[in-house]
Structure 1
Amino acid sequence: MKPVCVLGNGQLGRMLRQAGEPLGIAVYPVGLDAEPQALPIQQSVITAEIERWPETALTRELAKHPAFVNRDIFPILADRLTQKQLLDQLGLATAPWQLLASDDQWPQVFSTLGELAIVKRRTGGYDGRGQWRLRVDQIQELPQECYGECIVEQGINFSGEVSLVGARSHNGETVFYPLTHNLHQDGILRTSVALPEPDAARQQQAEQMLSAIMNKLNYVGVMAMECFVVPEGLLINELAPRVHNSGHWTQNGASISQFELHLRAILDLPLPKPVVSSPSVMVNLIGTDLNLQWLQQPLVNLHWYEKEVRAGRKVGHLNLNDVDSTALINALDALVTMLPPDYASGIEWAKEQL
């Protein structure tokens, strides 16, 4: 099988490499400053773990590579303006929004979108960075350089957040995992819960939405779609043209992980629907030191990224799954005593979903 070069060498590239090993697929996560001649680029299929990148010797070489899967799609989805325009073009529900070009728009913004405005940088920004929640008396908090570089959305009163992770093959076949329930704190995903039998109507709506997006773009590989749950159904929040944090539970909770599924799709290998037989919980490890006591728990699977531990930084995650929800709840109770206090609310939330 052809090797795969992954543009970006963070934890997603690392987990793609790990997923390729059992299948005999050589996966090379590469940093943006890598020398093209040092890599088997010409023989490889190219993918990416990041949506946007600066111009370097490597990215200039890849820009003309015929096997860079989704190369021309990344710029569309990496810019929140063109991403929102795509959703509007497809008639898919999303929060009311507009481009924020100048500060004299604010009276019209609040009149049109309501009392809470969510400002997001068009490009960059993740885990809550590059975003502002503003009311009319807070607009001075937005840096002046943001005007023209941001969109503004209506603040949505949602009852929950879910994501759908799916994949599309070269011939247009699509497969999906069950919807994942997500809890964010300060803009960072803290905990995810996936159930083998999700709400059928919600699952169907999500699959129709994500299918429409992937088919319109002729996308190949794994894509994640984050949504708000509102009384009318689902509102699309954001799209990620890659494997996604909310799909990490699939490493231990599904017959095929999202990382293997992505490799299968881009290499044109068989793409069966992943089998999910038990509830799963994923706990993000954020700015938390490694604790080998976690491994005392038989349901805990540790995925450690070997990154320097810093406040607010994702350094690993814990996956737990079991067919018995009571056993899973007991494991979460035991785990919470081994984690810093700020994990307790997220674990309690996860227990409520089971």
Structure 2
Amino acid sequence: MKNVLVLGAGQLARMMDLAGSPLNMDVKAFDVRTNNVVHPIAPELIYGDLTQGIAEADVITAEFEHVAHDTLEQCENSGKLFPSSQAIKIGGDRRLEKALLESCSVANAKHAIIATREDFNTAIEQLSLPIIFKSALEGYDGKGQWRMKSVEQADVIWQEMADFIVQSQSAVPQGIVAEQMIPFEREVSLVGARSTTGEISVYPLTENHHTNGILSVSLASAADETLQAQALDVFTKLTEALDYVGILAIEFFQIGEKLLVNEIAPRVHNSGHWTQQGADTCQFENHLRAICGLPLGNTTLNRPTAMINIIGEDRVPNEVLAIPSVTMHWYEKEKRAGRKMGHINVSGTTEAELATRLSALAQILDTNAFPDLLEFAKKYQEKINR
């Protein structure tokens, strides 16, 4: 049996536990809010503090990138942490992320780093409007972002960003990354694994759709070979540069036949949840295989699959379960607006069948809770019918 400690006690740790059990792995989670090691599915079960958790673990990993640096250092010193603390820090700081991309000669949006008003003014001069400003730390699901379409917005945006920087609770100084906004065709992501032996295996590129800055739908179907090869090349460069171990997700902007990296996530990723029903080996199992020194599982797409996030809702109509190949995944969270409460996976033997089932699902789900799903399903159906 392998004892695995996950830094973070959210839904990703929960799904790692569910995937690890058949492999005879005992997964526990360190709840950063209470500083207790708990069971990922039954957090009322407490197994001591971080020091005890590290001592009893064979391997340590993380479910999110904003882990306190002293916690990462303590885990790194044990020699059990995968991926490395540096890889996790890079995923949590856009400044470090941009430096990594540049050092690996990986295409990404033109950008500038901002810490002062002078930096801000220089960025506006160097980048063409529109510009998107992203917090270097603590930004996710559309939070900590500002869009500038005209120079008249400069004073207001700078004041908001300056207040944001001052109010930051991070132990690391907060900053802003300014990026040239890209007129991309779509956003896609690549989720892949690299093992302790350097073995690499990636899933097919996944198309992502966002609603109000939060991922709402991920669609996995047969990938364009040219784009898949580009994405694999980027994945290989980044993981080898970091000597990375585990699942890494890379979000891209597609512009014609070219991919630009938007951001990376050093962990199992929301856009990879479809792998639970669409591949032989899901991302959660492959992450555990990678960090525990086991051979990686098959990442081939078995059948076209879509993942729909359940956001801010604690129930959906039971009728969705009448649709073939629909699987529910609830996280047992307290209902809160904007919170990821669960997800739905739906598959088809062909893209046409998936499109039909996705449309049926969209007809049943509340349009207030899933505002863009019906339109997404309609466009997907039209694409398949061309």
CA distance in 1, matches of 2:266, 2:298: 19
Between 1:214-223 and 1:282-291, the stretch displaced more is 282-291
Match of 2:204 in 1: 178
Match of 1:65 in 2: 78
1:317-328 map, 5 Å: 317-328=343-354
CA distance in 2, matches of 1:182, 1:298: 23
Give the AA of the match of 1:92.
V
User: Cα gap change, 1:320/1:198 in structure 2, threshold over 3 Å: closer, same or farther?
Assistant: same
Structure 2 residue 152 is matched with structure 1 residue 137: yes
Between 1:63-72 and 1:87-96, the stretch displaced more is 63-72
CA distance in 2, matches of 1:312, 1:124: 16
Give the AA of the match of 1:51.
E
Match of 2:246 among 221, 225, 235: 221
CA drift at 1:76: 2.4
CA distance in 2, matches of 1:331, 1:75: 40
1:126-165 map, 5 Å: 126-135=140-149, 136-139=151-154, 140-141=156-157, 142-146=160-164, 149-165=175-191
CA distance in 1, matches of 2:178, 2:116: 11
Match of 2:359 in 1: 333
1:1-354 map, 5 Å: 1-32=1-32, 33-34=35-36, 35-36=49-50, 39=53, 41-54=55-68, 61-69=74-82, 70-135=84-149, 136-139=151-154, 140-141=156-157, 142-146=160-164, 149-195=175-221, 197-231=222-256, 233-291=258-316, 292-341=318-367, 342=371, 343-352=373-382, 354=384
Give the AA of the match of 1:72.
Q
| Contact 2:206 2:220 survives alignment (8 Å) | yes
CA drift at 1:21: 1.1
CA drift at 1:329: 2.0
CA drift at 1:271: 1.3
CA distance in 1, matches of 2:245, 2:276: 20
CA drift at 1:105: 4.0
CA drift at 1:64: 2.2
User: Cα gap change, 1:71/1:102 in structure 2, threshold over 3 Å: closer, same or farther?
Assistant: closer
| Contact 1:302 1:318 survives alignment (8 Å) | yes
CA distance in 2, matches of 1:59, 1:76: 12
Report percent identity of matched pairs: 40
| Contact 1:191 1:347 survives alignment (8 Å) | no
Could you give the per-residue CA deviations for residues 217-236 of structure 1, whole angstroms, max 9, x where no partner exists? Answer: 00001000000001350000
CA drift at 1:151: 0.9
The secondary structure found in structure 1 opposite 2:244 is coil
Could you give the per-residue CA deviations for residues 288-318 of structure 1, whole angstroms, max 9, x where no partner exists? Answer: 2312332222221101111112111111111
CA distance in 2, matches of 1:226, 1:219: 17
Unmatched tracts of structure 1, length 5 or more: none
CA distance in 2, matches of 1:302, 1:55: 35
Between 1:116-125 and 1:136-145, the stretch displaced more is 136-145
RMSD in angstroms over aligned alpha carbons? 1.9
Could you give the per-residue CA deviations for residues 63-97 of structure 1, whole angstroms, max 9, x where no partner exists? Answer: 42211112232112321001101101111100000
| Contact 1:192 1:350 survives alignment (8 Å) | no
CA distance in 2, matches of 1:118, 1:108: 14
TM-score (structure 1 length as normaliser): 0.94
Could you give the per-residue CA deviations for residues 206-258 of structure 1, whole angstroms, max 9, x where no partner exists? Answer: 00001100000000010000000013500000000000000000000000000
Give the AA of the match of 2:376.
G
CA drift at 1:189: 0.6
Alignment coverage as a number of residue pairs: 352
Give the AA of the match of 2:25.
I
CA distance in 2, matches of 1:106, 1:312: 30
CA drift at 1:100: 1.3
Give the AA of the match of 1:84.
K
CA distance in 1, matches of 2:376, 2:293: 38
CA distance in 2, matches of 1:129, 1:123: 10
Unmatched tracts of structure 2, length 5 or more: 37-48, 166-173
Give the AA of the match of 2:11.
Q
Match of 2:45 in 1: none
| Contact 1:5 1:41 survives alignment (8 Å) | no
